[in-house]
Copies of this chain bind each other. A is one copy, B any other.
Amino acid sequence: MQAEQSRFDRGLDRMRAIFGPEIEAALKGLSATSPDLARCLVEFPFAEIYTRPGLDLKTREMLTVAALTVLGYPQAELKEHIRGALNVGCTQNEVLEIILQMAVYAGFPAALGAVKTAAAVFGESTA
């Protein structure tokens, strides 16, 4: 049980490192409906995958921005991960390069949707 506890804490630390301290409010909101999905989210992607040594955090966030752009529908998650990418060292220009490249693999509608979301994030961060 102690191991489980530390797994959760390790994931939460990683989420804070990527998304900043606001992530705890978002997790609390999710937990109010589905505490198990909230726990799995912390423990599998963030404790298990994002703490692995094989790729640095900036590269991981860039890959996730690519993945969410390709999927197209999860603009709320894309918004969080564009913020996350900027937090861990991506430049705005790098985010836009990823999105532009995804036009090749998932088409222009995917890229256009992602740029709107990026614009919303960039607008906040320069405000």
- Nearest-neighbour CB distance to chain B for A88, whole angstroms, equals 14
Assuming the A-B contacts A40-B100, A40-B103, are A68 and B109 also in contact, with contact meaning beta carbons closer than 8 angstroms in the complex? yes
Copies of this chain assembled into the complex: 6
Tell me the bound Cα distance from A57 to B106 in angstroms: 19
Contact string against B for A residues 45-77, beta-carbon threshold 8 Å, 1 for contact and 0 otherwise: 100110010110001101110111011111011
Residues of B within 8 A of A74 (CB): 72, 109-110, 112-113
A111 within 8 A of B: yes
Q: Report how many residues on chain A are interfacial, defined by Cβ distance under 8 Å.
A: 58
Residues from chain B with Cβ under 8 Å of A59 in the complex: 59, 62
Question: Contact mask A70-95 → B, CB, 8 Å, 1/0?
Answer: 11111011000000000000000110
> Assuming A33-B122, A37-B96, A60-B101, what are 6 further A-B pairs, CB within 8 angstroms?
A44-B44, A59-B59, A62-B62, A63-B102, A73-B113, A74-B113
